[in-house]
Amino acid sequence: MIDVNHATVGGPLAARCAGGRKGGTPNLAAMFHKSGAAARFGPLAALLLGFSGLVFAHGGEDHSHDAPAPLVSGDTPSRLADGSVFLPKATQRQLGLRTQLAQVAAHAATLELNGRVIADPQAGGKVQATQSGRVELSPKAVLGRRVARGEVLATLHPLVGGLERGGQQAQLAELAAQIEAGERRVARLEQLEGIVPAREIEVARIELQGLRARRAALGGSLGAESLRAPVAGVVAAVNVVAGQVVEARETLFEIVDPNRLAVEALAYDPGLAAGLGEASAAVPGGELKLAYLGAGQVLREGALPVLFRIVANKVPVAVGQPLKVLARTRASREGVAVPSDALIRDAGGNAQVWLHVGAERFLPRAVKTAPLDATSLLVLEGLAAGERVVVTSAGALARVR
């Protein structure tokens, strides 16, 4: 039996084996032949050579089915295997990414209502035809022009048939004759003042005054009527052209004060309508701040009308424009307030936000939200206090592949 101690095989022989690699694998056979160990140890050498094949056979195994480790480039945005996104600092600055810390707090619950912009009833008005007639427009009746209260916008010439006009003219002629006779009688009685009783003179004067009033009334029915602006404001609608024949009660002009507009919304729960407070509405180009004025007591199409006044009208809106009103209620709930731009939708339509979990790493998180106001959302589930949420350019992270 051959005794091979650690000094003989584990020492110099192992050192030579470790240094005799070829292509990264120890070449034990070559080392045995060069060192003469094969001649000295015989069967033990063969055993060692067989064992070396088992030890270093790992390099030839098939690993084609193993999951590759995520490779991250130093300057290229990429999607990692766990669904997160690698985004270099330079790219973050180019996209203008901004984050904020999540803070859990109590916020007023909001109620979403369908509404539309209306003119303030005390600052807007309509010009309507009082009778059928032909319209003659004034140069001041221009769409978008500011007018003062009482300005003439049009002249209405009444429509009268030939037979009717002839009868009225005959009445005017008769009244003219009666007025002339009355004037002469009054003049004659005034000359006899002191002889004729004063009462007779006074009766003649009253009769003459009545004849003149009848003539003015009859002449007015044949003459033109001036249509004037009921309030000061801007001509918001012109529904007539020069020479058009209109019917009585037809709306010809609408006057609106753009600085005094309101929003009328419909609440389907009368109980909630009684506890509304401040509200807001998102419109193209900005946000409208609304103040609650009151609610009606009569249902309209199954809903209760609720009135708000626009208190900060920095964004132009038009009367009749539909919008979504988010009104605060007396109830409250806890959550994390984030800007609306922080919320995105995945391929399945589920709401999610992006968290900044590392210097250059971002992770999507599914959340449950509720509207807070026109520009903010309340995250009810999915966020914890202290987590950093991406609030701008979140959509750019979702497009990284």
Q: Do 363 and 355 meet the contact criterion of CB atoms below 8 Å apart?
A: yes
- Local structure of 371: helix, strand or coil: strand
> Does the domain made of 79-107+332-398 have the CATH classification 3.40.1010.10?
no
In whole angstroms, give the CA distance from residue 43 to residue 40.
9
Spell out the CATH class of 111-121+255-331: mainly beta
Sorted by where each begins, the domain ranges of the chain are 6-59, 79-107+332-398, 111-121+255-331, 127-253
The model's confidence at residue 77, banded by pLDDT at 50, 70 and 90, is confident
In whole angstroms, give the CA distance from residue 89 to residue 399.
17
Q: Do 303 and 267 meet the contact criterion of CB atoms below 8 Å apart?
A: yes
Going from the C-alpha of 286 to that of each of 146, 315, 374, the distances in angstroms are 25, 6, 9
Q: Do 372 and 337 meet the contact criterion of CB atoms below 8 Å apart?
A: yes
Q: Do 232 and 149 meet the contact criterion of CB atoms below 8 Å apart?
A: yes
pLDDT digits (tens, 9 = 90+) for 346-396: 888 889 999 999 898 999 999 999 988 888 899 999 899 999 999 988 888
Distance of CA 324 to the CA centre of its chain: 7
In whole angstroms, give the CA distance from residue 255 to residue 272.
34
Q: Quick one: which H or E segment has residue 111?
A: strand 104-119
In whole angstroms, give the CA distance from residue 136 to residue 147.
18
340: tokens are 């609306």
Mean pLDDT of the chain: 79
In whole angstroms, give the CA distance from residue 255 to residue 237.
7
Q: Do 398 and 344 meet the contact criterion of CB atoms below 8 Å apart?
A: yes
Q: Is the pLDDT of residue 62 over 70?
A: no
pLDDT digits (tens, 9 = 90+) for 124-183: 899 999 888 999 999 989 999 999 999 999 999 888 766 666 777 778 888 888 888 989
| Residue 310: count of CB within 10 angstroms of its CB | 21
